[in-house]
Amino acid sequence: MSAGYAVSNETGNVATFIKPFRIPMLPIVVIVIALLLKSDKESGTINSKVFPWFALAFAVS
């Protein structure tokens, strides 16, 4: 966020506003991408070895 303030006060304010929303969205995006790229398309399930469990743990915590 401090890099935004190096550019201008307005940019720093926008960076400060966006940062808290960007980090919590990370596990959701990772899980959605994993589900879209699941390896077993015939059965409709995702292989537990491929699923990003760290993202689920991050989202729950």
pTM of the predicted model as reported, rounded to 2 decimal places = 0.52
Domain ranges of the chain: 24-61
The percent of residues in the chain predicted with pLDDT above 70, rounded, is: 75
What DSSP designation does 6 have?
A: H
Q: What is the pLDDT of residue 9?
A: 92
Q: What is the pLDDT of residue 10?
A: 92
User: 48, 16 in Cβ contact below 8 A?
Assistant: no
Residue 19 has pLDDT above 60, yes or no: yes
User: 15, 3 in Cβ contact below 8 A?
Assistant: yes
